[in-house]
Amino acid sequence: MEVTEVEAIVLESAVGTIPLSGGKGGSFDATVTPIIARIHTDEGVVGIGETFIEDPSSEKAKWVGQSIRGLSKHLVGHDPREVWDRWQEMYVHTKRTGSYLALSAIDEALWDIKGKKAGVPVYELLGGKSSEVKAYATFPYAKPIDELIEDSQWLHDKGFELMKIVVGKTHGGDIEHDKKRIREVSENVPDGFGLSCDANTSYSFPEAMAVGKTASECELGWFEEPIEHTDIEGQADLNSRLSVPISGYQTHKPHYPARDHLVADALEIYQPTLDLCGGVTAAQSVATLVEAFNKRMVPHTFGPGINYMASLHVATASPVCDLIEFAVYDDEADDPGEFVASPYVKNQGENIYVQDGGVIEPPEKPGLGLELDEDAIEEYRIN
């Protein structure tokens, strides 16, 4: 089997913009602009993988599409089933150019081909099902406290394990506002329903300590990206001094930096982002490293559907993962467990679905288990 062609498909976002805190750069409007890598082979087997850009203008997404085409020269004429060799060949160039988004989408498509050719789901190629995976709800809206409390009942009734809310001095607030937000929401969510918070690297170390003490007192599930992701020593200090678990790794790529975090005991929960870290190959490697240090992995999956499914296959096969993110983009939906960000995926609401009770499973189909709706692709395509 040989790769004959690599397509890059840039699509318009199917969800609106969401204001997020963004570290030292301040808040920004985020969206989900998908870029699909579609790989063709001489045997007619086609694989799909995906990354995305948060930029509503779509200009950066077009650049990612060009990066996919640039890396394709390392694939055409080679066997796509030799995923590790293909990944290493592309990584040599990716680490010099920074084209990790392109590498990630291509890697997912290679695993899709490998699974389709073998006639099994990708998670079987990764070792098979390890444990049941449940979903937690990322609720990326900086809503008033009373509305978050009301929505927590809606999410709890569905079966989500917990709700993750945004902090990080959003919308002109300060750390006192964030502390109040954490305290009041945590005290009023339904019994048995958890809460975690995500600062998106927005705090200084003293600010993170102050908010982290409140998060510890309220027994939050975790405190996500409290400070700059490059400050390993600072994260380790927070992790040793606070009882709330410190989580992160979604802005790192590929899997190699996980070793430094693990040795420093910087994080309790590792959240690799498949659309950035290097796809299935890199995320699976993070899981292996995390298991050796007796830590936990909860994949970061804010984004579109094909990438979500790749993440779910990795989660399903990992013994250190029993929870995965599920972004609730529509706060007025009848069923918050239906995936809505990828209308170009056939039957997205059925194939990517949180069951009542909170369990989510990949399809029992070869590869990633998803198909594209070609009519919708043409409707949303912008390149």
Say what the pLDDT of residue 17 is.
Answer: 78
Mean pLDDT of 166-191: 90
pLDDT per residue as tens digits for the range 312-356: 999 999 999 999 999 998 888 899 999 999 999 999 988 999 999
- SS3 per-residue string spanning 285-335: HHHHHHHHCCCEECCCCCCCHHHHHHHHHHHHHCCCCCEEEEECCCCCCCC
Q: What is the Cα–Cα distance from 332 to 166, expressed in whole angstroms?
A: 19
- SS3 per-residue string spanning the chain: CCEEEEEEEEECCCCCCEEECCHHHCCEEECCEEEEEEEEECCCCEEEEEEEECCCCCHHHHHHHHHHHHHHHHCECCCCCCHHHHHHHHHHHHHHHCCHHHHHHHHHHHHHHHHHHHCCEHHHHCCCCCCCCEEEEECCCCCCHHHHHHHHHHHHHHCCCEEEEECCCHHHCCHHHHHHHHHHHHHHCCCCCEEEEECCCCCCHHHHHHHHHHHHHCCCCCEECCCCCCCHHHHHHHHHHCCCCEEECCCCCCCCHHHHHHHHCCCCEECCCHHHHCHHHHHHHHHHHHHHCCCEECCCCCCCHHHHHHHHHHHHHCCCCCEEEEECCCCCCCCCCECCCCCCECCHHHHCECCCCCECCCCCCCECCCCECHHHHHHHECC
Peptide bond preceding 254 in cis form (omega within 30 of 0): yes
Say what the pLDDT of residue 202 is.
Answer: 92
Instruction: Give percent of the chain above pLDDT 70.
Output: 96
Instruction: Give percent of the chain above pLDDT 90.
Output: 88
Say what the pLDDT of residue 95 is.
Answer: 95
Say what the pLDDT of residue 331 is.
Answer: 83
Distances (CA, A) of 64 to 51, 104, 252: 9, 11, 18
Mean pLDDT of 274-293: 98
pLDDT per residue as tens digits for the range 200-239: 999 999 999 999 999 999 999 999 999 999 999 999 999 9
Say what the pLDDT of residue 267 is.
Answer: 98
Show the domains of the chain with their CATH numbers: 3-120+373-380 (3.30.390.10), 124-351 (3.20.20.120)
- pLDDT reading at 188 higher than 60: yes
Confidence band of 172 (pLDDT split at 50, 70, 90)? low
Confidence band of 55 (pLDDT split at 50, 70, 90)? confident
Q: Please say whether the beta carbons of 222 and 246 come within 8 A.
A: yes
Cα radius of gyration rounded to whole Å, the chain: 20
What is the pTM assigned to this prediction?
A: 0.96
pLDDT per residue as tens digits for the range 117-171: 999 999 999 999 998 999 999 976 778 899 999 999 999 999 999 999 999 876 5
Q: Write phi, then psi, for 196 (nearest 5 degrees).
A: -135, 170
Say what the pLDDT of residue 25 is.
Answer: 57
Say what the pLDDT of residue 360 is.
Answer: 98
pLDDT per residue as tens digits for the range 62-93: 999 999 999 999 999 999 999 999 999 999 99
- For the chain, what is the mean pLDDT? 94
